[in-house]
Structure 1
Amino acid sequence: MTAPDSHSQDGLEAQFAQWRQYAHRRPELRQSDTEELEDHLRGSVDELIGIGLRADEAFLVAVKRMGGLDDLSREFAREHSERLWKQLVLTGETDGPAADTRKRRDLLATVICVAGAAMSVKLPELFGMGIEEDAAFYGRNLGLFALPWLAAFLAWRRKAVPALAGVLLALFAAGAVAANVYPLADDSQSAVLTGIHLPIALWFAVGLAYVSDDLRSSRRRMDFIRFTGEWFVYLSLIACGGGVLMGIVFGTFEAIGITPDTFIAQWLLPCGGVGAVVVAGWLVEAKQSVVENMAPVLARLFTPLFTAVLLAFLVAFALTRGGIDVEREALILFDLLLVVVLGLLLYSISARDPLAPPGLFDKLQLALVVSALIIDVLVMLEITGRITEYGTTPNKAAALGENIILLANLTWSAWLVLGFVRRRAPFAALERWQTGYLPVYAVWAWIVALVFPPLFGYL
């Protein structure tokens, strides 16, 4: 029996995606319930396709095999009576002693990892390195103080196999080499590039821990994208609360004649900062029933604004006919702009109903992606011209590589969004493209952090 064609597979993935979105919105179901049900459903669908059923037929039969109707499936059938899954069953287990035990274990693991991160950031002081005196060292190693502990928490929660745990240890060890073994001057371009790219590379190592329960799954990669957005939101909120806490500590103790500057600078800020990285991850895991809420809302809010800014920039560029400054600060700014555009696209994708027809917001996203694509081409032309005329530097080489990677992503993304807007391509194809492209960013970040410094003589 031949495998289903790409169109049938896209339709099947779209049905799974809508099923998953509905399940995530149900307070009766926890993330583990949804994942277990989907695994059973996918396995049954694959078996039925293997014996000759079409993808849509296999999906309907698999849903029926899951059992009889209950109140939740009846509600789903009423809301989606035109869909195939009129007899969907969602019978998640209720909270009980087992769930309470798991929550306590998660909390204990979080406390251990937070304590580990706090000890990591204080450990260099045993070797005579102070936070204020050796700020460059702490800046390069900031990700190594916190992210290994977040990865450890996620790997423990996913029951990662020993082989994967070994890979994670090797990746963080490679990061430690890039940050501490290479002879990088504090003001060198290589030091700046390492400081920017190493945390990104380490974050993808965290992503590997996150998807360790299903390494090849496109949906798990999209879940990690959602996790990243919600983690950033939670971390920002914790940072705001931490700022208020430090202000209160300073004000109250100063009122009684005690100046807590040393405590805040040496203990509260560094230990609380690295601990917050782990706590934010735990909060996202603990609140998975509301995942997708914040980041997609912000994406929908800022997509029109960034589209207007990019279009205004292109108009101004055409009117002034001036060149683009490709010095280090400008390169970082333009790369950051393109990353923000990509983030807006990703988080809009993560919360969208894949079966919904294209609308005004999709056309707005197309304008955003095309505008970013044009800016990317302009920046690449400037960088290429400067390299041809003056030679290459670590900054220009890194920026050129990043723009090439983003150019490939944005070009195909624009094509897929255009096809969707014109109703000639399914939305699921865009989601699969973005999740499949994630390893490219990870590989490039590691190349810049590990290969560029010796390649350019640690300049």
Structure 2
Amino acid sequence: MTDDQGGLTAQFAEWRHYVQRRRELRQADVDELEDHLRGSVDDLMAAGLHADEAFLVAVKRMGSLDELSREFAREHSERLWKQLVLTGGSDGPAARSRRDLAVMVACALGAAVSVRAPELFGVSLAEGSGFYPLNAGLLVLPWLAGFLAWRRGAPARLVGVLVALFALGAVAANAYPLPVESQSIVLTSLHLPIALWFAVGLAYASDDPRSSRRWMDFIRFTGECFIYYVLIALGGGVLVGFVFGTFEAIGVSPETAIAQWVVPCGAAAAVVVAGWLVEVKQGVVENIAPVLTRLFTPLFTVVLLAFLVTFAITTGGIDVEREALILFDLLLVVVLGLLLYSASARDPLAPPGLFDKLQLALVVSALVIDVLVLWEITGRITGFGTTPNKAAALGENVILLVNLAWSAWLMLGLLRRRTPFTALERWQTAYLPVYAVWAWVVVLVFPPVFGYL
């Protein structure tokens, strides 16, 4: 190690010790601040400054710790500790909270109205046409993306990209002549919301779209948004039950109003409300979600291991019909979701422990199942030809195979203390666009390639 490197290491250690004394900043926050500082120092040294000079200039540019904390809180405004840092002024938490509430209500109402708007053009929700499955994401997710883009202060260029992505999704969902029995209807209905959800992610990360930490925050946002949505749905189910009981007690049946108005409009608005709750109630869910992850990771590990043992004993093969393919893919996606969400909630500097070993067992089990499914799909395609369902499942399982295999390798390195946890984190965030690209391929390319089958 050179003298310059040794001096910088000591200076960074001293700076980190000073910053860690601030109770408002969590360990992950300190890590991110240090990443910014190190990047600035590297840029200045590349420009010709001496190490000591580069460090001093970089610290000076970042400002005092109080000012830095304020800026960091604004950029990460979903964090509970913003209430400790952003105090005073017209742009304080209370004023921001009122504006967020107003914008959220407007977006939630927009999503609810969008669900019923097709009625004006003769498309009835009650008739069960193929319009709503194909366009469900397009009716709701633009409003959530709009709320997040407003909250992040997204630049006009990025807003234009979001509009273009949702417009592309609208074309893909409605331009192709898909018959009612077409497999492409099911595939588009499943993959288009995935593709559009990454557009929501772009809105979420619009304040720093190149930051892997920001996309890891979006992964956490996705899990927490799902939890809140389920809780809202459960509460809504109880409310609907009371409405049925009370109105029928006086001889009035609310079935039509609930089925055509309350449930669809409420389900659409709840997506925006759930996203808003994650943003403003971050501290509450942070206590729930990691607990759920630690609860279900060992349970899914046991289930997958039991499946593999049973498969080895029976050797009956795997059914690769459409329903089975969807089931296995959902299982692998749940495993990946547990991995992603536990990674987003993990302290990057924490040493590897028992839970990391359980996660490795879970990922390896899922990897083996993925290989078995791929083997069966390849055999069916070779023997009987391909279909849109089998081709989509083949591509998705290959994508999952790559992610799971490299994740298992990185986790093994983590357990052996040869690979830092940040390597696994960066791999997952860097791999996210692969899922989005594949979803768009299935939505845009598959229908014409397979003759709208």
The alignment status of 1:119 with 2:113, answered yes or no, reads yes
Q: Distance in 2 between matches of 1:425 and 1:22?
A: 29
Structure 2 counterpart of 1:341, one-letter code: V
The alignment status of 1:47 with 2:37, answered yes or no, reads no
Q: Distance in 1 between matches of 2:391 and 2:131?
A: 24
Gaps of at least 5 residues in structure 2 are 70-82
The residue number in structure 1 matching 2:178 is 184
Structure 2 counterpart of 1:154, one-letter code: L
Structure 1 counterpart of 2:41, one-letter code: L
Q: How many residues align?
A: 418
Note the C-alpha offset of 1:294: 2.6
Question: Aligned match of 2:315 in 321, 335, 350?
Answer: 321
The residue number in structure 2 matching 1:132 is 126
Bigger mean CA offset, 184-193 vs 219-228: 184-193
Note the C-alpha offset of 1:94: 2.2
The residue number in structure 2 matching 1:293 is 287
Q: How big is each residue's C-alpha offset from its partner over 1:165-191, in whole Å with a ceiling of 9 and x where there is no partner?
A: 111111111111222221112222111
The residue number in structure 1 matching 2:86 is 93
Contact 1:338 1:372 in 2 (8 A): yes
Bigger mean CA offset, 395-404 vs 256-265: 256-265
Question: Aligned match of 1:241 in 232, 235, 241?
Answer: 235
Q: Distance in 1 between matches of 2:165 and 2:387?
A: 26
Q: Distance in 1 between matches of 2:41 and 2:157?
A: 33
The alignment status of 1:384 with 2:363, answered yes or no, reads no
Q: How big is each residue's C-alpha offset from its partner over 1:350-390, in whole Å with a ceiling of 9 and x where there is no partner?
A: 11122121111111111111111111011101111111111
Gaps of at least 5 residues in structure 1 are 27-33, 73-89
The alignment status of 1:157 with 2:154, answered yes or no, reads no
Question: Aligned match of 2:138 in 112, 136, 144?
Answer: 144
Contact 2:184 2:452 in 1 (8 A): yes
Q: Structure 1 residues 24 and 137, CA, compared in 2 at 3 Å: closer, same or farther?
A: farther
Q: Distance in 1 between matches of 2:121 and 2:39?
A: 57
3-state secondary structure, aligned to 1:94 = coil
Structure 1 counterpart of 2:176, one-letter code: Y
The residue number in structure 2 matching 1:222 is 216
Note the C-alpha offset of 1:158: 1.1
The alignment status of 1:200 with 2:201, answered yes or no, reads no
3-state secondary structure, aligned to 1:323 = coil
The residue number in structure 2 matching 1:406 is 400
Note the C-alpha offset of 1:46: 2.8
Structure 2 counterpart of 1:335, one-letter code: D
RMSD: 3.1
Contact 1:250 1:259 in 2 (8 A): yes
TM-score, length basis structure 1: 0.84
Q: Structure 1 residues 45 and 271, CA, compared in 2 at 3 Å: closer, same or farther?
A: same
Q: How big is each residue's C-alpha offset from its partner over 1:303-362, in whole Å with a ceiling of 9 and x where there is no partner?
A: 111111111111111111121111000100110011011011111111112212111111
Note the C-alpha offset of 1:134: 3.2
Note the C-alpha offset of 1:129: 1.7
Question: Aligned match of 1:272 in 266, 269, 272?
Answer: 266
Note the C-alpha offset of 1:41: 5.5
Q: Structure 1 residues 395 and 58, CA, compared in 2 at 3 Å: closer, same or farther?
A: farther
Q: Distance in 1 between matches of 2:327 and 2:227?
A: 21
Note the C-alpha offset of 1:250: 1.2
Q: Distance in 2 between matches of 1:68 and 1:381?
A: 56
Contact 2:332 2:366 in 1 (8 A): yes
Q: Distance in 2 between matches of 1:259 and 1:354?
A: 55
Q: Structure 1 residues 300 and 91, CA, compared in 2 at 3 Å: closer, same or farther?
A: closer
The residue number in structure 2 matching 1:364 is 358
The residue number in structure 2 matching 1:423 is 417
Q: Structure 1 residues 251 and 95, CA, compared in 2 at 3 Å: closer, same or farther?
A: farther
Q: How big is each residue's C-alpha offset from its partner over 1:189-243, in whole Å with a ceiling of 9 and x where there is no partner?
A: 1111011111111111111111111111000000000100110000000001111
Structure 1 counterpart of 2:139, one-letter code: F
The residue number in structure 1 matching 2:245 is 251
